[in-house]
Amino acid sequence: MQKNTPYILFLAFVLLVTVSFFLLIKDFLLACFWAIILAVVFDPVYQRVRQYFKNSEILPLFLTMMMIILVFVIPLLTITLMITEESTILYQKIQSGEINPQVYFQETLALLLPKFNKLSHIQALSVEQISVSVGDSFTQAVKYIAQQLPALTQNLLNLIVQFVLAFYILFFLLRDGNLLIRKLISLVPIGDNIETELFERFTSVARATVKGGLIVAVIQGSIGGILFWFVGIPAAFLWGLLMIILSLLPIGSTLIWGPAAVILLLQGRTLKATIVFTVGILVIGMMDNFLRPRLIGKDSKMSDYLVLVSTLGGLTWFSLTGFVLGPIIAALFVTCWEIMGKYNKTSNI
């Protein structure tokens, strides 16, 4: 017991220093997380670029980071600005009375539920009451999004710092990532095989979530937003944002463009309804079957129900970052128990 005392004290000291370190950098953990995710996703790209520029170390890094900016950062900023501008304009129209969501939803419910008021057993829930409730909720949602623009402006310095720090860390992760992984595996006292399996699981789910989830969702939502704008549906970019969010989940964006097409059809706008149905089924719907498998490649997948639950839980805990972090935690949870099962079987033999 006495021989183990120095080691136990050292482990306690290591734990104390580690916790202190993470508390020290807690305000920058988000930048570190996204630097790690981007490094994992774009490392194959970096390795491929290195094959063409073997005599230069900086040029492959520079080209890879420029590609990340073009593929990831610029589209994300553009979509965010467009959604914020659209929501601001829409909220101003609602405030001025030019657009009345309650009337719109009341008309829609009247089209979808023409016999609603004739049902005696749910007489308390009238079309007017539902439309007022839904209209108020829609107004509050638009108001919340519109109010994020001043908040973004006020936190501009913090965003710039986070962005610069993330790309600074990303530079070194791309360059020295494999060396850092080998050092981490050798230092953590769990077992090299277990650590390697956990890291491979983390890598596969991160790539699958970002490549096969986020990119496809942005493309689907963008097409849906443009489609809604083309057929004249109000707040097209806001609906596009909602389609992006739903496309990240197994539920899918069909919950948005499907009812929209039905409403257009009931309103007598047959041509526009046909366009929405056609583009929704042949373009937006086929993205999952055509583009997602090619972006994910051999990366492992999880069950749809596990993706749904972990994504919703990640959103609750970590906001937007939860789209990626939630499935990663769920995948590591499943992997740990699978490793535990293998270990128990081996021990019993």
Q: Is the C-alpha dihedral spanning 160, 162, 168, 171 positive or negative?
A: negative
**pLDDT tens digits for 203-216?**
887 877 777 777 78
Q: Give the count of alpha carbons within 13 A of 260, CB side only.
A: 26
How would residue 238 be classed by pLDDT, with cut points 50, 70 and 90?
confident
Phi and psi at residue 248, in whole multiples of 5°? -70, -20
How would residue 349 be classed by pLDDT, with cut points 50, 70 and 90?
very low
For residues 292 and 128, which has the higher predicted lDDT (pLDDT)? 292
E strands within the chain? none
**pLDDT tens digits for 259-310?**
888 878 877 788 888 998 888 888 887 776 676 666 655 555 667 677 778 8
According to the model, what pLDDT value does residue 120 have?
A: 44
For residues 246 and 47, which has the higher predicted lDDT (pLDDT)? 47
Q: Is the C-alpha dihedral spanning 283, 284, 285, 291 positive or negative?
A: positive
Q: Are 67 and 46 in contact (CB under 8 A)?
A: no
**Is the model's pLDDT at 41 over the cut of 50?**
yes
Q: What secondary structure letter does DSSP report for 26?
A: G
Cα–Cα distance, 89 to 93 (Å, whole number): 6
**pLDDT tens digits for 141-190?**
666 655 555 555 556 677 778 888 988 998 888 888 878 877 777 777 77
Q: Max Cα separation, the chain?
A: 85
Cα–Cα distance, 88 to 93 (Å, whole number): 9
CA angle 85–91–92, rounded 5-degree value: 90
CA distances from residue 202 to 71, 129, 195, 316, 340 in whole angstroms, order as listed: 22, 48, 10, 21, 17
With residue 251 as reference, give the H or E element that holds it: none
According to the model, what pLDDT value does residue 136 have?
A: 61
CA angle 106–110–111, rounded 5-degree value: 120
Tokens of 240: 């596009």
Segment of 28-32, 120-124, 293-297 carrying the highest mean pLDDT = 28-32
Q: Give the count of alpha carbons within 13 A of 95, CB side only.
A: 10
With residue 328 as reference, give the H or E element that holds it: helix 322-348
- Mean predicted confidence (pLDDT) in 86-112: 63
pTM: 0.68
